[in-house]
Chain A
Amino acid sequence: MNLHELQVVAAEANAKANAQKRCVRVCMAASCQSSGAGGVLKGLKSLASSDADHDVCVKGVGCMGLCSAGPLVRVSSADDTPDRLYQHVQEKDAKELFASVDDGPVERLACSTDLPFFTRQKRIVLENSGEIDPEQIDDYIAAGGYEPLVRAVTEMAPYDVLRNVTESGLRGRGGGGYPAGLKWTTVARSPEPDKYVICNADEGDPGAFMDRAVLESDPHRVLEGMALAAYAVGAQYGYIYIRAEYPLAVERLEKAIKQATKRGLLGHHICDTPFSFEVEIRLGAGAFVCGEETALIASIEGQRGQPNPRPPYPADEGLWGCPTLINNVETLANIPAIMREGGEWFRSIGTESSAGTKVFALAGRITHTGLIEVPMGITLREIIEEIGGGIPEGRKFKAVQTGGPSGGCLPEEHLDMPVDYDTLRSAGSIMGSGGMIVMDETSSMVEVARYFMEFCMTESCGKCVPCRAGTAQMYELLDKIATSTGTPADLQLLEQLCEVVQACSLCGLGQTAPNPVLSTLRYFRHEYGEKLRPDPLLQPVAAERNGK
């Protein structure tokens, strides 16, 4: 396929879409599916097919974001009235909604699209999400997809792709925030003949579903990002490491790989150039630590998923000992847009040190939960109070947790802080991969710390001593404190263990496991203090001294 052929496909698909302006889109991402979107779609489809002259297109699309109001349905009419969004749609509503294409809105189910939840977002990674049918490659092509790839391999040198990514200032979205351009350059500069590109779709943070949403809503985007990366660094093979708990994403990826290969956009001699790139899917069994890059590589190689000391970094010696570029789903999903609009454009969004946007999974005690994409530099207050609609039931905000088990809890006084890698880190939390949990006055910070420590303890791979034995000891101490049986000596020991585990653990899991404890101690130390009881060994002495 060359650029001209691609544009023909895009034009045909667009013409078809324009002829069928009347369209009903049903969110078919996992969350809406689990609340009954499948039945809604089936009902609407059968209505459309039994009503031939109606000529309404009904399609299942990706995540629309406001998961708490699902299943969501969007209806476009023939005239120029704006699209209508409907919430909590059930199978029995299908008929009414179908009729609404021509008969006007169904107020009963209406969901306002003027909510800050929708208007304050800036969508790059999710630009097609909720718009296109993820199972149709033509939908993606019609939205301008694969043009950056075709242009790159036919018109640009790998170095030009690299320069664009470096200029964009894109940083890794998997948690570390390592500059993507720098990582790509390291792999590209290696003289080794065999190189690999790996897409990290292991997404293991509790409550996080950003990567799943991207893969379910726009799988081709990730494939295109991988192919562009492979072209830039000179790789021939790619792997997508995805957890088996994401069956829908796996299914859509498999379909997408087949479709793209059939079109000559993946596989041998892409666009009749010497560049070949094959992608394989590898399923992970759901161990959190397998998201760590060296453990992930070991797992792909068929070994036990345990991290190895770095250096050597994967960019130097990765899969099968070859230079390997490993990037997160969201990082790669930014690439097609960067290549389309240019690195300068991307850099102009967000802040000086953190360019672009970030997808967050909003959860916890907040009115609107779901998936949002916001420009870097937005404040936490804007996210929580405007986009998230604040804390429900008139309760008071207490803390926001970012970065999952590796992150921290930030209190009210940090709400006006801009969201970027460095500011969050300096406040004792991290950007992480995008989990954001809001807590109100009813949450106990000691219990939050205990929850994340339990997670780290059970997810520790068991390889290195500080993490394996240290997280177990820290969990026991936190449990003691949370159940009001801990003493000041226990708290002191806990803090000492935090230091050792942080400094000595082999991989990021252990090194960051103390973070939730340290950040809650930093901002909510009094909550720990309130739960301590005096040391029993010191008790009798104190009692005697008081002249019992």
Chain B
Amino acid sequence: MARHPATPAAAPKVRVVTLKIDGHDIGAREDETILNAANDNGIRIPTLCYLEGLSEWGACRMCVVEVAGSPKLMTACSTRVAEGMEVTTNSDRLQRYRRTILELLFAERNHICSVCVSNGHCELQSLARACGMDHVRVPYRNAAYAVDSSHDLFRIDQNRCILCTRCVRVCDEIEGAHTWDVMGRGVDSQVITDLNQPWGQSTSCTGCSKCVQVCPTGALVKKGTAAGEMEKQGGFLPYLTEMRGNR
């Protein structure tokens, strides 16, 4: 498991515990999360805001699991394993909750896949398919959010953002630029660059594209990938032939 570097000699001893996930007996280090332990054993728990390599955030609530003896649901991404724990990851109830959460996300902003540049490469879309969310019962909120195309290389379409904060975390924790942050409260929350200035004017953005690569949806994209940007520049031909002396 490449994820865990060899324990340095001086570090306190980390024990290995055994637990049950969906009836399977599993061994895991006590400092691991339920999600890690499940993944390593081929048990898939749906996630959205989680991304290996970034800090845990616990916000999308897709990875909620039942832990025997606990009245509350736990998020697998943020809960450590413990000896004797019994975890259920896929009960009917959990599946129903996950579908509802996805419906809430789809209805919150604009997630009309057929007109999205990420159609077919979107984690939200594939998760909806995997979880069997085939229709949305809650009304679409049809809110119109801003699109910022001021950056030379990238674009953010807030209408497709699910506020997973992967961009915020990768920029802060990995690139060290902390260009991104979250502004506002509740449904008015949105990710911003610098102090809510246009991305193109950001003095902290290094243009590294890490945020674009980790964004699960079509919110952060490389420019030139939208259908409208697929204009061909055929007008060069007459000019070229003329300059070549019409030969």
Is A466 in contact with B104, judged by CB distance below 8 angstroms?
Answer: yes
A497 touches B138 (CB 8 A): yes
Q: Choose, from B37-45, B58-66, B152-160, the stretch at the interface.
A: B58-66
Q: Which residues of B contact A505 (CB under 8 A)?
A: 61
* CB closest chain-A residue, reference B109: A469
**B36–chain A nearest beta-carbon distance, Å:** 15
In the bound complex, do residue A465 and residue B104 qualify as a contact, i.e. CB atoms below 8 Å apart? Answer: yes
Interface residues of B (CB under 8 A from A): 56, 58-61, 64, 72-73, 75, 78-80, 96-97, 100-101, 104-105, 107-108, 137-139, 141, 162-163, 181-182, 184-189
A308–B59 Cα gap in the complex (Å)? 9
B188 A500 Cβ-Cβ under 8 A: no
A346, B188: Cα distance in complex, Å:
46
**B45 to nearest A CB, angstroms?**
14
Extra inter-chain contacts (20) besides given A503-B73, A505-B61, CB under 8 Å: A304-B181, A304-B182, A308-B58, A309-B56, A311-B79, A457-B187, A458-B186, A459-B186, A460-B186, A462-B163, A462-B185, A462-B186, A464-B60, A465-B59, A465-B60, A465-B61, A469-B187, A472-B141, A497-B100, A504-B101
* Nearest B residue (CB) for A507: B58
Given A311-B79, A466-B101, A504-B97; A460-B58 close (CB under 8 Å): no
CA gap between A466 and B104 in the complex, in Å: 7
The one of A461, A471, A473, A496 that contacts B107, using a Cβ cutoff of 8 Å: A473
Alpha-carbon gap, A476 to B107, bound state (A):
13
| Given A458-B186, A462-B186, A504-B64, A469:B104 Cβ within 8 A | yes
Chain A contact residues, CB within 8 Å of chain B: 287, 304, 308-309, 311, 457-466, 468-473, 476, 493, 496-497, 500, 503-506, 511
> How near does chain B come to A149, taking the closest CB pair, in angstroms?
37
Q: How far is the CB of B158 from chain A (nearest CB, A)?
A: 13
What is the minimal beta-carbon distance from B92 to any residue of chain A, in angstroms? 13
With a cutoff of 8 Å between Cβ atoms, the chain A residues found around residue B187 in the complex are 457, 460, 462, 468-469, 472
A-B residue pairs, 9 tightest by C-beta: A462-B189, A469-B104, A309-B58, A460-B186, A309-B78, A469-B108, A500-B100, A504-B61, A464-B59
Contact (Cβ within 8 A) A461 B186:
yes
How long is the Cα–Cα vector from A230 to B123 in the complex, in angstroms? 48
In the complex, A470→B56 CA distance in Å? 22
With a CB–CB cut-off of 8 A, which chain B residues contact A461? Answer: 185-186, 189
CA distance A458 to B75 in the complex (A): 25
Measured between alpha carbons, how far is A464 from B58 in the docked complex, in Å? 8
Q: Sample 30 A-B pairs with CB under 8 A, ordered by A number.
A: A304-B181, A308-B58, A309-B56, A309-B79, A311-B79, A457-B187, A459-B186, A460-B185, A462-B182, A464-B58, A464-B61, A465-B60, A465-B104, A466-B104, A468-B108, A468-B163, A469-B104, A472-B187, A473-B107, A473-B139, A473-B141, A493-B137, A493-B138, A496-B100, A500-B97, A500-B101, A503-B72, A504-B101, A506-B58, A511-B72
**When the two chains form their complex, are residues B184 and A462 in contact, meaning their CB atoms are under 8 A apart?**
yes
Which residues of A lie under 8 Å from residue B162 when comparing CB positions?
465
Name the A residues within 8 Å of B182 (CB-CB): 304, 462
Nearest CB on A from B184, distance (A): 7
Cβ contact within 8 Å between B186 and A457: yes
Is B186 touching A472 in the complex (CB atoms < 8 A)?
A: yes
- Would A469 and B185 be within 8 Å (CB), given that A463-B59, A500-B97 are in contact? no
Closest to B57 in A: A463
Contact: B61 with A466, CB < 8 Å?
yes
CA of A472 to CA of B185 in the docked complex: distance in angstroms?
12
A14 to B101, CA, bound (A): 63
Report B13 CB to chain A, min CB distance, Å: 16
| C-alpha spacing A311/B181, complex, angstroms | 25
Expressed in whole angstroms, the minimum distance between the Cβ of B236 and any Cβ of chain A is: 48
Q: For B186, list chain A residues within 8 Å (CB).
A: 457-462, 468, 471-472
> A246 to chain B: closest CB distance in Å?
21
User: Judging by beta carbons under 8 Å apart, are B58 and A473 in contact?
Assistant: no
Please name all residues of chain B whose beta carbon is closer than 8 Å to the beta carbon of A470 when the two chains form the complex. 104
Which A-chain residue is minimally distant from B182 (CB atoms)?
A304
Say yes or no: B185 contacts A287, CB within 8 Å. yes
Chain A neighbourhood of B72, CB < 8 A? 503, 511
Q: How far is the CA of A461 from the CA of B72 in the complex (A)?
A: 21
Inter-chain contact B139/A469, CB cutoff 8 Å: no
- B71: shortest Cβ distance to chain A, in Å? 10
Find the A residue at minimum CB distance from B164: A465
Per the bound structure, the CA–CA distance linking A339 and B162 in Å amounts to 51
Asked if residues B104 and A503 are in contact (CB atoms below 8 Å), the reply is no
Which residues of the partner chain B approach A309 to less than 8 Å between Cβ atoms?
56, 58, 75, 78-79
Q: Which residue of A lies closest to B165 (CB)?
A: A463
How distant is B165 from chain A, measured CB to nearest CB, in Å? 8
Q: A residues within 8 A CB of B75?
A: 309, 506
Q: Which of A309, A465, A503, A511 has the most CB of B within 10 A?
A: A465
Say yes or no: A459-B185 contact (C-beta < 8 A), given A465-B101, A472-B141, A473-B138: yes
Interface core residue of B108, B139, B184, B185 (most chain A CB under 10 Å): B185
Tell me the complex Cα distance, A287–B97, Å. Answer: 28
Complex CA distance for A287 and B184, rounded to whole angstroms: 11
Distance between B180 CB and nearest chain A CB, rounded to angstroms:
12
Q: Which residues of B contact A472 (CB under 8 A)?
A: 108, 141, 186-187
Q: Are A503 and B105 in contact (CB under 8 A)?
A: no
For the complex, give the distance between the alpha carbons of A319 and B187 in Å: 28
Q: Which residue of chain A has the shortest Cβ distance to B48 in the bound complex?
A: A465
Q: What distance in Å separates the Cβ of B195 from its nearest Cβ neighbour in chain A?
A: 14
Measured CB to CB, the nearest residue on chain B to A469 is B104
State the Cβ distance, A288 to closest chain B Cβ, in Å: 10
Q: Tell me the complex Cα distance, A150–B245, Å.
A: 102
